[in-house]
Chain A
Amino acid sequence: MPGRSLVEKIWDQHVIARLSEDTDLLSIDRHLLHDLGGSRGLLDLKSRGLKVHNPELTFATPDHALSTAPGRAGTSKIGQELLAALRTETAASGITLFDVDQPGQGIVHVIGPELGLSLPGATIVCGDSHTCTHGGLGALAFGIGSSELTHVLATQALIQKRPKTLRARFEGKLPLGVTAKDMILALIGHIGAAGGTGYAVEYAGSAIRALPIEGRLTICNLSIELGAKIGMVAPDETTFEFLRGRPYAPQGEMWDLAVKAWRELPSDPDAVFDREVVIDVEKIIPQVTWGISPEHVVGVDGVIPDPKTVDDPARRAAIETALEYMGLQGGAPIAGTPVDWVFIGSCTNSRLSDLRAAAEVVRGRKVAAGVRAWVVPGSENVKREAVAEGLDKIFIDAGFEWREPGCSMCLAANGEVVAPGQRSVSTSNRNFVGRQGPRARTHLASPASAAASAIAGAIADVRMMGRQ
């Protein structure tokens, strides 16, 4: 019998009952709620006359519908109602809430790792597709819809079909100016936005092992943009060092016991994967998207695809549709495209290391005239640490707006939008039609690339800025 992979080991450990050949009732270790769907699920449960099965394994924070303006001014009436309902319903159910302005509040996928709620070998779910982010710590984490959310509240379990396995090996030494965000965008460009559908992805290889945890979280965050609802990295010493001492991580003897178990989790050397992809990271250059799917991506020194040179009619039509929406010319270089907005934030790239990388590029420089640039830290703790380091001052001096933590302009659920027809370079995860606001045009890039673009006033190659 072949060895087992990381995902198979964690999966097997959580099977309460086998329901069919490939479907199991899985035990859930952590359930994270946010303001958009949290109170709705709790109210749904109440209307069925049911109680939360394990409130002590359920944690909530507002992030999606909250204004990120100073003082939270600008939270809509409906956003305020959702926050009030989240407070009432979590209190009534005995669920811990990390509330506005308190340490612990923030984007749900930033606070889980930061507080040590997300642990290797744990099953983690949340009503949000970017729950795959927590896989960066070796957790089996995935997004669920509203019905499944209610199911987890009621039972602390979920009916799930066993996924196929894909191993993506990133090998080599990452070139200067190239980041985790560029690695994962390059993979999406390589295998496409549906390349991971039906799979749990394990990211492996020397370049993954060399990445700090925050980079691994960024990689796993974009798994869903490959079509994979699960993405993970095997836990190692870097993982343990990151988690040690975090408030919800085990302490003392319990810590030793946990680490001993976590060391057993990595895929066995003879584990068999349904698909394997190898990426040579030394060939990756900073990536930027040009279209309306994360698979529409090129190196920043590349050109926008020209539909006239594409034979396949479906692909040609897809490129034409994307270029029309984005207001771009096929065949033109992507660098130098003028931008109106720069957004640094989101569950992809709003952690301290992301803000440091952007600040390094920005320091002593000015945002180009006509560009509006925002930094939205991922959590209250990230914000406080960034302020303690003086990063806020670097951004403000350069002409950025420094905001309160939340999802903000990544999905524009709180009125924070890019105006119709305007062009944004964003460190978030989706360049979908209307994602940052109706008819907004989004180019995804790393924090360093976004910072460089804010300074240049156009899509820019950070490697030409003299600082990485």
Chain B
Amino acid sequence: MPKPFDKLTATAAPIMRANIDTDVIIRIERLVGNSIRGTLGKWAFGSLRYLADGSENPDFILNREPYREAEILVTGPNFGCGSSREGAVWSLQERGIRAIIGSGFGDIFFANCFQNGILPVLVDKAVVDQLAADIEATQGAGKVSIDLEAQTIVSPSGARHSFEIDPRRREGLLKGLDEVALTLQRDDEIHAFQASDRTTRPWIHFQKTAASRTPVSRTSA
């Protein structure tokens, strides 16, 4: 169940490169296994954060003070594109990130953020650019504030921007709602839909039986 999100004032780190994909956020080999939760924070942005010899890359922003403590990322276009791996969100969360402000996000990554209580804020590129410039002008000392209830961001310069967000998703984040539990409250509707669909599209539905382990060839002919 996601942790609720309402307000946050924190250090923000601009990572402005376009098209940062979820492979760059977390490498696949870190995600192979069923007991990976809690191990991912140090591997977030691994290829950018570490040099080939395993030492920290001093040029990467999250390795520099005060950005090391950043809880907000300010990102370039199409952040989180590519693979559906939710481990990308988990690794950022375990690294301490709670909100991401950008001008465009990968659709699946964007949805995965909400599932984990991370707020992705979609704003115009001009707003992103101004935030990044304001943060850099204070060398990261100036904090960024986000108020989900009021739907506003305040830049270190004091500039205030409003943002749009889907009302359902906003409510889900504010209350930390569990979607599985919510949908199961509609289980009668799901069963009614399926019963009716068995009549209109019978070819979609199979008998509930024990798993068939029978091998099947490409065609039955």
Contacts and interface: CB of A to CB of B under 8 A. Distances in A.
A216 B126 CA distance: 38
B107 A247 contact: no
Contacts of A248: 216
Given A148-B115, A194-B77, A227-B107, A432 B82 contact: yes
A81 interface: yes
B147 interface: no
Contacts of A295: 19
Given A55-B208, A246-B220, A438-B27, A161 B33 contact: no
Interface string A131-168: 00000000000011111101100111101010000000
Interface stretch (B57-65, B134-142, B151-159, B182-190): B182-190
Given A23-B168, A103-B217, A159-B179, A128 B84 contact: yes
B23 to A, nearest CB: 4
B89, B112, B168, B203 pick with most chain A CB within 10 angstroms: B203
B192 to A, nearest CB: 8
Interface in A168-222: 193-194, 197-198
A104 B216 contact: yes
A318 B18 contact: yes
Give the interface residue-count category, chain A: 35 or more
Given A314-B18, A413-B29, A433-B24, A27 B193 contact: yes
B32 A94 contact: no
Interface in B60-96: 76-78, 81-87, 89
Contact of B211 (A23, A94, A411): A94
A220 to B, nearest CB: 15
A389 interface: no
A27 B194 contact: yes
B141 to A, nearest CB: 25
Contacts of A78: 32-33
Contact of A439 (B33, B52, B83): B52
B203 A257 contact: yes
B54 to A, nearest CB: 11
A99 B193 contact: no
Contacts of A161: 166
B55 interface: no
B75 to A, nearest CB: 12
A56 B208 contact: yes
Interface in A418-448: 420, 430, 432-435, 438-439
B27 A147 contact: no
Interface in B1-44: 16-19, 21, 23-24, 27-29, 31-34
Contacts of A127: 84
Contacts of A115: 216, 218
A412 interface: yes
Nearest to B125: A314
B176 interface: no
Nearest to B221: A245
Given A40-B34, A194-B78, A385-B218, A119 B84 contact: no
A411 B82 CA distance: 12
Interface in A216-269: 224-225, 227-229, 245-250, 254-255, 257-258, 261
A129 B211 contact: no
Contacts of B105: 197
A197 B211 contact: no
B34 A145 contact: no
A99 B82 contact: no
Interface string A319-352: 0010000000000000000000000000000000
A104 B219 contact: no
A155 B180 contact: yes
A463 B166 CA distance: 50
Given A43-B34, A48-B180, A257-B202, 13 more contacts: A20-B167, A20-B168, A82-B33, A129-B108, A143-B108, A145-B84, A151-B179, A245-B220, A314-B76, A413-B32, A430-B21, A432-B21, A433-B21
Question: Across chains A and B, which 5 residue pairs bring their CB atoms closest together, nearest first?
Answer: A147-B115, A250-B203, A145-B86, A145-B112, A194-B78
